[in-house]
Structure 1
Amino acid sequence: MTNSNDVVERIKLAPDAGLVKSLGANHTLESAIADLVDNSIDAGASRVSIRLLTSDDRLTQVEVLDNGRGMDAVAANAAMTIGHQRDYSDSDLGHFGMGLKASSFGHSDVLTVWSTQHGATPVGRRIRRADFSRDFTCEVLSADVAAERGVDRQVVVGSQEGTSIVWTDVRNAYRGRNRDEARSWLSARNNALRSHLGVTFHRLLAVKRLEIDVLIDEVGEALTGIGVPILPIDPFGYSISGHPEYPKDLFAKAGDARVKLTCHIWPAKSDVTGFRIGAKSGEQFQGFYIYRNDRLLQIGGWSETATPSAARQLARVVLEDTGAIGPFVTMNPEKSGLKFEPIFHDAINKAEASDGTGFFTFLQDAEFVYIDANKRRRRRKPAIRPDKGIAPAVRKRIGRELSFIDGDAVNVKWKRMPSSEFLDVDYPAKVVWLNSRYRALFAPDGGSLNDAPVLKALLYLLTHHVFEGQHLGSRDKDEIALWKSVLGAAAAAEEHMRGK
């Protein structure tokens, strides 16, 4: 317990300016520019133009121009203040007050902001990483030049109102002397940027709430250039589901919270944009897709809830409950990944759909679709259909592995039998009987119609063929006698070993 009586003074501890040196360390060029687009969206922009400007084929300047509301002097000062926490609404994509500075200083040494707001004097601000990391110095720029930048902005995005972000002294770019290598590097970055923005903002792009274009040109030549539009890349854009029972909603419960997980299974052998993204195969994009206000925050990955594998590459899960971000899911400042809290891991492991499907059943279903499409199909003889006494999930899986003969089904039931017996086969009734005196060995928490699923599945696989003939032949009868003898002795030994 603290005691307020021991307080003698209150002081303010400002952050050390040296923290600027680490800002944006985890940002890729693509994630950094996406963060700037977030700010444009929060400002109400419908158009964003990204300009990758070069000198001798080397990237030297990056510009992001939008037609949003723009900023006045007060808002511009706040935007340049590290960690400034404005009043975020539930619909905002901004979160930490670090995005502009972190994304910019992760890739450049000079950040310049030009902005025009309706009815306000145009403003310009510039912070230099070297100065900012000493004393948080920010330069106030000429309003006349800011107005000129507004005229340039109108040429590009059709509005003087809005904001222009300019990075100069770009650090993370190709530095070698080989011009072909420089062009190759820039082409790769352009492709990666287009893929990242296309998938990150695919929902907004698809409904025309947002238009983004990218232009690569020489510094000084780009003003009249026309950028190439970013196209939406839908990571759930399959035409037909890979599994007829999906997509399916599972609900994870943690305390009083209930979070929806929409589980998808892509069709097997998919090789289209959306399954693969950019130059990467679809296998690398299995896992969770987490949305906040239609912005994709996490592009795949199981977040320690499951192990990635080739067989799970068709499995993707949508989480877009913004109430989960904070108490259950922690977002990092770069919005490049999210950490699931332990309470949420537990909730996902127990998540269920209305039909009883659990999270790991979903993974198994996705694995089956993948494996089934890739294995060499063997012809299996049709089998009698399993029915009462076998759990629905087991019956479903058997149905995927075997085709069924028309007509009768086989049931697995318990009844009281002599202690020397464990099972009996009732051919006319199509029932495999199990001795209920041994039931507690396989259903220790109490019996139910579909209890002991492993035992019953094994017995179905062992016995189903004897029900598929017109009658019991001598070979069938001999097999049944063998099962009764061996399994009766095994059950008695099991009971003895457990001290029952």
Structure 2
Amino acid sequence: MAKPVLLLPSANRMIGSMRDIGYDLSTSIADLVDNSIEAGATEVFVNLIYKENKSCIRILDNGIGMSTEQIDEALRYGSRRNYSSNDLGKFGLGLKTASLSHCRKLSVASRQKGSKEISILMWDMDHIEKEDRWEALRPELHEATHELYEKLQDITGTSILLENLDRDSTGSSDKKSFIASCRHVEEHLGMVFHRFLNQEAKRKLPLTIYINGNKIKAWDPFVRNEPDTRILPSQEFFYEHQERKLSINVQPYILPPEQLFSSKSAHVEAGGPKKWNRQQGFYIYRNDRLIQSGGWNRVRAADEHTKLARISIDFNSNADESFKVNIAKMTVQLPTKVRPELTKFASQIASAADKIYREKPNKKQNSMSRTGNIFNGQNSEPNSQITQKTSSATNQTSQINPTSRVETNQTSQNNPTSRVETNQASQNNPPSRVETNYSPTPDLYQGKGAITEIGSGANLVDTVITVLKKELSDKPEVLGRILSSLAKLRLEFRNS
């Protein structure tokens, strides 16, 4: 017989409000995955099990597991725990509120490394309403649902089972609706945890998430694998909140217009779960976990012409109060003291994205001749770094795509030795490379050479040719390849 464990008295007045905090199914499961990540899991298995009126949801991980006492504390509302600045949890409510927003029975089973014992605790809303007490039940193993504990007989970790699903998104006996819920969950998890799935998060452990046995693919909002995505210089903003000095890191991206995507399917996928117009704007990360995906937070309105602009904002949990993170970790607000700077910054990125969108370039055009300086003509800049370092090369190296068509000589975490490459009009023509051991003569940078007189148009072409011929006079083959490549980019070089 299951033994009752009193965790809170006087339940009936609280049940409704505790179940209606605002979780949808996708955000609920994401909140449960947060717990798995904090438990050091490298694999998380999400199963939405269809059984008509007896469907259930299980989240299983291979983390460190919990003892009986730890499970009791985990299921206590407002559990006692000290959170570090890198934790994904916040209020000690996520496990309970996220789960019970969709079900009337929540069971947690766990097994720690080195132990054969599987500890189980259960919230049953029917029992709580009957007794009018927040009284959890501790069933014996044979009394629990088989799906809850079966996998824990082979691995250590934690299993969470949601039964008696009674909300619209999960309680429907319609199989099509249930399958649609699976797809939404898959899209959401791939987006929210994309840094963890791609091992770009500060956490060193790898992470793989499965839904109904299928490996979830990370969705990168900034499509850095597309050669024509522009990764602009990042900026750090500092501000004070309640006598604490805080900072946020802001990284802008401008995605390619549709014509410049590598394929139609890649463009559709880049539109994201909310589609292109609603995915523009801020992507706000708390400890590498995505909280907000798109939207301008009232600093500007969404517009068709600015839909290529996406900006990541990173903060850790020390800044939670200034961002007003809610319990479901679904909504945030921009800190008041940094709003003016972010508004100015966002306006410039949006203006640059608008300009690129309106150009509607031909796929055969080269990005060097197509864009020029995308910030050219801007009257104000959020930071002096947000200007292109050269007048011809605008596309920057992606952290995950070190062989972009146009690359500057910047470094990234995954590509410390970026190559300088010229863009090609056709994939059939191999790119010409400027040798990495080449260095210009000092005179060119001392006010004596042609580089100090670079202008635009024909003057610029003549200057570039002069410099190349002077610097590569002893390397005719290299010079020939470069001039041949440049001739494919602009008419002026063809006539040179």
What TM-score, normalized to structure 2?
A: 0.63
Letter in 2 for 1:128: D
Compute the displacement of 1:294 (Å): 2.5
Query: For residues 28 and 109 of structure 1, what CA distance do their matches in structure 2 show?
Result: 15
Q: Percent same amino acid among aligned pairs?
A: 26
Counting strand residues as a fraction of each chain, which structure ranks higher? 1
Compute the displacement of 1:74 (Å): 1.1
Compute the displacement of 1:254 (Å): 2.0
Letter in 2 for 1:55: K
**Structure 2 equivalent of residue 267 of structure 1:** 256
Please state whether the residue corresponding to 2:16 is helix, strand or coil: helix
Query: For residues 119 and 31 of structure 2, what CA distance do their matches in structure 1 show?
Result: 21
Query: For residues 38 and 66 of structure 1, what CA distance do their matches in structure 2 show?
Result: 11
CA gap 1:331/1:391 in 2 versus in 1, 3 angstroms = closer
| Aligned partner (choices 183, 207, 230) of residue 210 of structure 1 | 207
Letter in 1 for 2:207: L
Alignment of 1:468-487 (within 5 A): none
| Aligned partner (choices 134, 137, 143) of residue 135 of structure 2 | 137
CA gap 1:79/1:343 in 2 versus in 1, 3 angstroms = same
Query: For residues 108 and 311 of structure 1, what CA distance do their matches in structure 2 show?
Result: 43
CA gap 1:75/1:252 in 2 versus in 1, 3 angstroms = same
Compute the displacement of 1:194 (Å): 0.8
Compute the displacement of 1:393 (Å): 6.4
Query: For residues 81 and 326 of structure 1, what CA distance do their matches in structure 2 show?
Result: 23
Letter in 1 for 2:14: L
Compute the displacement of 1:65 (Å): 1.0
Compute the displacement of 1:185 (Å): 1.1
Q: Which moved more, 1:358-367 or 1:136-145?
A: 136-145
Please state whether the residue corresponding to 2:41 is helix, strand or coil: coil
Compute the displacement of 1:61 (Å): 0.7
Query: For residues 393 and 331 of structure 1, what CA distance do their matches in structure 2 show?
Result: 31
Compute the displacement of 1:257 (Å): 3.5
1:153 to 2:151 alignment: yes
1:349 to 2:336 alignment: no
1:236 to 2:222 alignment: yes
Query: For residues 277 and 303 of structure 1, what CA distance do their matches in structure 2 show?
Result: 19
Alignment of 1:110-259 (within 5 A): 110-119=105-114, 121-132=117-128, 134-142=132-140, 152-154=150-152, 159=155, 161-173=156-168, 182-207=174-199, 209-215=206-212, 227-240=213-226, 242=228, 246-255=231-240, 256-259=245-248
Please state whether the residue corresponding to 2:297 is helix, strand or coil: coil
Compute the displacement of 1:391 (Å): 7.4
Please state whether the residue corresponding to 1:307 is helix, strand or coil: coil
Alignment of 1:303-314 (within 5 A): 303-314=297-308
Compute the displacement of 1:38 (Å): 0.8
Please state whether the residue corresponding to 2:120 is helix, strand or coil: strand
Structure index of larger Rg: 1
Please state whether the residue corresponding to 1:68 is helix, strand or coil: coil
Compute the displacement of 1:47 (Å): 1.2
Query: For residues 125 and 145 of structure 2, what CA distance do their matches in structure 1 show?
Result: 25
What TM-score, normalized to structure 1?
A: 0.63
> What RMSD in Å do the two structures reach over aligned CA positions?
3.5
Query: For residues 295 and 11 of structure 2, what CA distance do their matches in structure 1 show?
Result: 35
| Aligned partner (choices 307, 324, 334) of residue 330 of structure 1 | 324
Extract unaligned runs of 5+ from structure 1.
1-12, 216-226, 351-357, 376-384, 409-500
Residues 62, 166 of structure 1: 8 Å contact kept: yes
Query: For residues 64 and 14 of structure 1, what CA distance do their matches in structure 2 show?
Result: 28
| Aligned partner (choices 292, 298, 322) of residue 292 of structure 2 | 298
- Count of residue pairs the alignment pairs up: 352
CA gap 1:62/1:300 in 2 versus in 1, 3 angstroms = same
1:37 to 2:33 alignment: yes
Query: For residues 252 and 15 of structure 1, what CA distance do their matches in structure 2 show?
Result: 46
Letter in 2 for 1:199: M
Compute the displacement of 1:169 (Å): 0.5
Compute the displacement of 1:96 (Å): 0.9
CA gap 1:337/1:169 in 2 versus in 1, 3 angstroms = same
